[in-house]
Amino acid sequence: MISESVNQRITDFQAALKLNGSRRPIGDLYAGVDLGTSYIVTAVVDGQGAPIAGVVTHSLSSIRDGLILDYVGAIAILRRQVETLRGAGFPIKAAAAAYPPGTVGRNAQAFGNVLQAVELKVEGLIDEPTAASLVLEITEGAVVDIGGGTTGISVIENGEVVYTADEPTGGVHVDLVLAGHYRIEDHEAEAMKRDPSRQNELFPLVQPVFQKMATIVRQHLQDHSVETLYLVGGTSSFPSIERVMAEETGLVVAKPRHPLLVTPLGIALNCAQRLKDQS
């Protein structure tokens, strides 16, 4: 399952979002940028892979279904994040980005282009669930990254990624169900979904969406001997989604603390590893 040391590293990243410099970095700084549908997150680790800083920005306009629709908007958000980090004493220069599984060619390169536009040196690109697996430290299983617009799947066997897939279903679809039921705007539904005091009440309404996600995951895994699913991504933060996944797939389901933060932290670790391998 998920070790306490892994959960502690993710918790340390959450604490590092305060940008209070409570932990002195050892060695160089490495950044990872997760350009998501609902959030853009930048994570910073030091030479030992310890989380040092980070910024989370809620955004619903720049990315949709794994594609950058508002290039200028994504750049503006990331530029503010970089300026915030540098102003707080974290002069990041090297960074990596991630893309949904199955994204290729110019669509994948676009994620790196956003980093270049804010004068970050792009050290590599990695698919999102594979980045998450670096944090989870797993050698067997499937990582399911449920974001705002897409659900990414990576199957890992003997420490190697042997299969990846991406499906256009995620938190936005949960928002649509709530918006239709309550007859409210999508952004109001999204805020309602994130309200912890409402989530138990909302669960019966959104459970069918989670069941659909689980069915999609099960279909992608039917040719693989997977015993454990690892849920990450912002939508995985919703309570009881792991129970639905377990019931529908028949697999053991593990969910780390703060699922939203796992993938960006993994992207930063990937950046650090790439540069160390080059040296």
Per-residue pLDDT of 144-183, as tens digits, reads 999 888 899 999 999 889 999 989 889 999 999 999 999 9
Phi, psi of 165 (to 5 degrees): -155, 160
Topology of domain 4-133+260-278 in CATH is Nucleotidyltransferase; domain 5 (3.30.420)
Mean pLDDT of the chain: 92
Please determine, for residue 66, whether its predicted confidence score (pLDDT) is greater than 70: no
Hey, what are 175's tokens?
Answer: 């928002």
Please determine, for residue 52, whether its predicted confidence score (pLDDT) is greater than 90: yes
* Share above pLDDT 90 across residues of the chain, in percent, rounded to a whole number: 76
The predicted model scores a pTM of 0.93
Is 110 in contact with 72 (CB distance < 8 Å)? Answer: no
Of 219, 240, 224, the C-alpha closest to 167 is: 219
Burial per residue of 254-279, b for 16 or more beta-carbon CB atoms within 10 angstroms, e otherwise: bbbbbbbbbbbbbbbbbbbbebeeee
Per-residue pLDDT of 1-22, as tens digits, reads 899 999 999 999 999 999 987 7
Hey, what are 43's tokens?
Answer: 């994570």
* Share above pLDDT 70 across residues of the chain, in percent, rounded to a whole number: 97
pLDDT score recorded for residue 189: 93
Spatial distance between the Cα atoms of 57 and 62, rounded to a whole number of angstroms: 12
Spatial distance between the Cα atoms of 230 and 89, rounded to a whole number of angstroms: 34
Distances (CA, A) of 18 to 67, 85, 113: 30, 11, 28
Hey, what are 45's tokens?
Answer: 């680790």
pLDDT score recorded for residue 62: 65
Per-residue pLDDT of 29-48, as tens digits, reads 999 999 988 889 999 999 99
Range list for CATH 3.30.420.40 in the chain:
4-133+260-278, 137-256
Give me the amino acid identity at 188.
Answer: E
Helix (H) or strand (E) holding 4: helix 4-16
Spatial distance between the Cα atoms of 190 and 148, rounded to a whole number of angstroms: 10
Spatial distance between the Cα atoms of 94 and 90, rounded to a whole number of angstroms: 12
Q: What is the CATH number of domain 137-256?
A: 3.30.420.40
Is 125 in contact with 112 (CB distance < 8 Å)? Answer: yes
Those residues whose C-beta lies under 8 Å from the C-beta of residue 223, and which sit 6 or more positions away, are none
- Report the side by side order of strands in the sheet with 252-254: 160-167, 151-157, 141-146, 228-232, 252-254
Per-residue pLDDT of 208-240, as tens digits, reads 999 999 999 999 999 999 999 999 999 999 999
